[in-house]
Structure 1
Amino acid sequence: MKYLPLALAFTTPAHAALRFGCATVSIQRLDPLVEPGRIPSAHLHQIVGGNAFNATMEGDIAEKATCTTCTFSENFSNYWTAVMFFKHPNGTYKRVPIMQNTALPNGINGGMTIYYTQHDFVSNGKEKITAFRPGFRMTVGSPTYNVQPGGRGNPGLRFVCLENKGTRFPELATFPSRPCRGGIMTVHHFPACWDGKNLDSPDHQSHMYNTVREAFTPAGPCPASHPVRVPQLAFETLWDTTEFNQWWPEDGSQPFVLSYGDGGDSLGYGTHADYVFGWKGDALQRAMDSDCMFQGCENGRPLKSQSVAQMNACRVKDFVGEDIDSWLKYLPGQDPEKL
């Protein structure tokens, strides 16, 4: 792949915006960024994208994957987040199923909605956007994040209490504290300013800079330390919590918990997401240089796309082999002796 010199990075205006679905490729305890090589990792993740996903991911994963669960068949990137569980009044846990966004084709196996935008949710903007490079990776959020009383939580990480699958607002800084008629959506919105040098950093975040204070709002100018504008990446995950509304505690306490043990009054502040770039060749740059919008980018205009059946057929080997679907006494990876 050839890249434009940094000095030319803002010479050509563009206004593409991608929104597409990715079916689930695996749900297991692996985390190649934070815990590379460890099988199993500390907590459970919901993973979408290419089938090169494994405990240790290095180099250009687009050269290693043979299929992808995403709409665009040239996109072998991986995207993952923590999993949501419901805690029954009897103390057992049940994994909350995932459902597709109503804006996407029917039949997608759970997964996520992925965005590569340039300005905000409504407008594309007209800035030159530089695609991520092979080997690029980043995270947003942290399981250890703490917020001061009255704070707005971690910027760009938001929750929506759904009336239906099409509900988008209001975006909440805190996890919904009441039963939601249509389920709960989590939004993970990544920084869009890159230092132009490092494909990663020890904390997986310092090579990026966030100029967005809320999810899907216009980003401010990139600082001199991180001058390269990259796509504003975002994940939306829709959790079908409706089957559990009947068991919402009478005292109003929070019955949901994220897979790293975040629950109670602090639920949601530690939500986080991970990304490893894996687009084939110059596919993402071609999209960012085009004027396509959402589904208008499919079918070779300019990106190759695939059917829902092909998306759903792509899977990753289960390296851990543990029960995640029954009613469980403990969260996967949880040590009962430390509870």
Structure 2
Amino acid sequence: MKWLVLALALVAPSQAGLRFGCSTLSIQRLDPLVEPGQVPSQHLHQIVGGNTFAPTMPDNTSAVHIGDKGTCTTCFFSEDFSNYWTAVLYFKARNGTFHRVPIYDNADLEGNIQGGMTVYYTQQDFSSNGNQKITAFKPGFRMTVGSPTIDSKAKSVAGLRFTCLASKTTRFPETAAFPTAPCAAGVMAEHHFPACWDGVNLDSPNHQDHMYDTAQDSGFAPGGPCPASHPIRMPQLAYETLWDTRQFNDKSLWPTDGSQPFVWSTGDGEGYSTHADYIFGWKGDALQKAMDSSCMFDACGNGKPLLSQTVDKMNACSVKDNVGEPTEGWLTSLPGKQTLHKRANVFHA
């Protein structure tokens, strides 16, 4: 973390940037945003954040805010009861069986975080946090980025990318599809959300139209001005998940046709269906206080201005498994997926 703080300090940022770890809260087939109340949901997710996560969660019509209901969170900042989730990565063996790829902690985080992901709330880009007024998300706010139905590079979303890791600190190049060769330190999945809000709707029917993306490229790149239709600049929310593919790097385990062997829990063996979900759950005005401060990354903890917690407390937080199906070990099919489609590595329920 020290090298990141130093690098950003050199540009004298005027507003905060948050980068912090969240350990895994649960891995199960639930999606209270896209498939509320459905148990199980269509595909498996990795979920991090507050322990209010459930098949159905309060929305913007409810007076109940999840930031006020949570009793623990897997995130470093203990006032953050938001939920963040993505699909889960599997390795497909030559015999057609599947094994979940483990997740490991990112570089320069707070300690021995179990699984999970790295979460960012930035202002402008990764080199300068700019000087715009950033409006924090509101109670009831929710959004998604990407879609499990995207099946081609032409339809891929710019902010959703993969990096073949030479080490935990590798950040480039980024690709829209899964890496096609073994990666020495695993594969990082990156999810960047739009940062311009219409100022009215806390959600929309497709969970995306109330937001607008002005980023010109993938990754932590400067975004253009927010349009009149979506005039409110909000934090640039991003996730990084490090999938530890190292145990599957033996090419003798890969398909005989030379294609890469990894598949999302959606059934996508190319990577284009990568997507992410977010439900805001920061307690009170904690996130706005952080956005109005000049702190950087985990230095925003210990009451400066955010409250933070130990990694042991992060790792201890969990929620009930509502589905109770096997997701570990060698599986004959992906959770919820039964039949093989003709295109390699793609499965449909």
1:204 equivalenced with 2:207 (yes/no):
yes
By how many angstroms is 1:14 displaced?
4.7
Aligned equivalents of 1:241 and 1:27: distance in 2? 18
What's 2:39 paired with? 39
Q: Is the 8 A contact 1:14 1:288 kept in 2?
A: no
1:112 equivalenced with 2:117 (yes/no):
yes
Query: Tell me, which stretches of 5 or more residues in structure 1 are unaligned?
Result: 1-12
Aligned equivalents of 1:155 and 1:198: distance in 2? 24
Aligned equivalents of 1:230 and 1:327: distance in 2? 42
By how many angstroms is 1:64 displaced?
1.7
Aligned equivalents of 1:68 and 1:47: distance in 2? 11
Provide the secondary structure at the position in 1 that maps to 2:74: coil
Aligned equivalents of 1:118 and 1:279: distance in 2? 17
Aligned equivalents of 2:340 and 2:19: distance in 1? 44
What's 1:262 paired with? 268
Aligned equivalents of 2:43 and 2:142: distance in 1? 20
What's 2:282 paired with? 279
Q: Is the 8 A contact 1:14 1:128 kept in 2?
A: no
By how many angstroms is 1:146 displaced?
3.8
By how many angstroms is 1:169 displaced?
1.3
By how many angstroms is 1:105 displaced?
2.4
Q: Is the 8 A contact 2:289 2:305 kept in 1?
A: yes
What's 2:56 paired with? 56
Aligned equivalents of 1:268 and 1:217: distance in 2? 22
Q: Is the 8 A contact 2:20 2:110 kept in 1?
A: no
Q: Is the 8 A contact 1:138 1:204 kept in 2?
A: yes
- Structure-to-structure mapping, 1:36-185, within 5 angstroms: 36-59=36-59, 60-147=65-152, 151=154, 153-185=156-188
Further displaced range: 95-104 or 139-148: 139-148
What letter matches 2:233 in structure 1?
Answer: R
Query: Tell me, which stretches of 5 or more residues in structure 2 are unaligned?
Result: 1-12, 60-64, 342-346
Identity %: 66
Q: Is the 8 A contact 1:16 1:289 kept in 2?
A: yes
The one-character-per-residue Cα deviations of 1:138-184 (angstroms, maximum 9, x if unpaired) are 00001112435xx4831100100001111111122221001001000
What letter matches 2:182 in structure 1?
Answer: P
What's 1:8 paired with? none
Write out the 4+ residue segments of structure 1 that deviate beyond 2 Å after TM superposition: 248-251, 335-339
Aligned equivalents of 1:337 and 1:95: distance in 2? 18
Aligned equivalents of 2:235 and 2:340: distance in 1? 44
- Structure-to-structure mapping, 1:324-339, within 5 angstroms: 324-336=327-339
Aligned equivalents of 1:216 and 1:77: distance in 2? 22
Provide the secondary structure at the position in 1 that maps to 2:331: coil
Provide the secondary structure at the position in 1 that maps to 2:330: coil
What's 1:248 paired with? 254
Aligned equivalents of 1:171 and 1:277: distance in 2? 28
What's 1:24 paired with? 24
Aligned equivalents of 2:218 and 2:206: distance in 1? 22
What letter matches 1:43 in structure 2?
Answer: H
By how many angstroms is 1:335 displaced?
2.6
Q: How many residues align?
A: 322
Aligned equivalents of 1:239 and 1:276: distance in 2? 23
Q: RMSD between aligned alpha carbons? A: 1.4
By how many angstroms is 1:248 displaced?
2.6
Aligned equivalents of 2:322 and 2:171: distance in 1? 35
What's 2:344 paired with? none
By how many angstroms is 1:250 displaced?
4.4
What's 1:188 paired with? 191
By how many angstroms is 1:298 displaced?
1.1
What's 2:296 paired with? 293
What letter matches 1:51 in structure 2?
Answer: N
TM-score (structure 1 length as normaliser): 0.92
